Amino acid sequence: MLAAHADWSIDPRKRWVTLARRDAAGWRAGAPRPVGDPAALTARLLAEGHPLLFGLDLPLGLPRAYAATRPEESFPAFLRGLGETPGFFEVSAGLETVSPARPFYPARGLRGMTRAAHAAALGLEGPRALCRLCDLATAERPAGAPLFWTLGANQTGKAAISAWRDWLHPALAAGVPLRLWPFEGSVRALLAPGRAVLAETYPAEALRHLGLVLGGSKRVPEVRRAAAPALRLAMARLNVSADPALAAALDDGFGADAAGEDRFDSLLGLLCVIGVLEGARPDFVPADPWVRRWEGWVLGQSALPAGA
């Protein structure tokens, strides 16, 4: 069995993947490394012939209000057909070019821009309609950013553009053996030799699953370094051992450069993936047809937003 997690960004220098292999003795995890060409990475892993659960820190799914306007039957079908939607990935500079066929906005910051105006340009009723159920805040973590919004430090729209356009759409259209959780079934039902199951993750969710509380911003190397003992305890609970390079990265706080937080997040996500495989976290998905067919869910998340 293989488990992997990629912390994703539109900037290839900030895309890092951490990989673990399971044998009779447990899991052995390596140090984070650059993703590089994601298609080539996936092909190498699939060539080993083992089941692979691959967590991705990027949106996999569409908000239901937008999905209701689509002719496809599900999000995987939508991804496969994106080649027939020219202009979909072009980020609009102004609201005058925003439409369901070109939903991403804004290309740059402008005075007076609001998510309510963005929703109205898409024909949606209010900013809440830009969000999926799993984007909303829960009692355990803050809200995530709406899919189509591309401005700010916590936006995920640009990561979705790069992954969907440059990797997932071409791979699915070419018949690469990828399956998307939860749209096509449960984790265990989808896992098979030589197949990769892709699942959305959220590092802020993974921190809470692991019982970690950071003493400051994860952007600070000293904060990441101070988290090493708690991370090692979490790994031990999941029967995960670190190879020498990962052990050194833990001690070093994953480096002092700007990508240190990305390497840190890639390990958090990997432990989230392993936690589901080991039964420490449930393979939970709300019993909501929109979630299961279109919106998707965050791997390991069991808390619902308030009022849901």
Domain spans, the chain: 1-87+153-308
Q: What are the pLDDT digits (tens) for 1-39?
A: 999 999 998 889 999 999 999 999 999 999 999 999 999
pLDDT digits (tens, 9 = 90+) for 220-245: 999 999 999 999 999 999 999 999 99
Structure tokens at 81: 């057909």
What average pLDDT score do residues 295-302 get? 96
Distances (CA, A) of 7 to 25, 63, 123, 201, 260: 27, 22, 32, 9, 11
User: Which burial class, exposed, middle or buried, applies to 222 when counting CB atoms under 10 A from its CB (0-12, 13-18, 19+)?
Assistant: exposed
Report the C-alpha gap between 251 and 266 in whole angstroms: 16
Structure confidence at residue 111 (pLDDT): 77
Does this model's pTM top 0.85? My answer is yes
Sequential DSSP letters for 135-160? GS--SSSPPPPPTTB--STT--HHHH
pLDDT digits (tens, 9 = 90+) for 187-205: 999 999 999 999 999 988 9
Phi, psi angle pair for 2, to nearest 5° = -120, 145
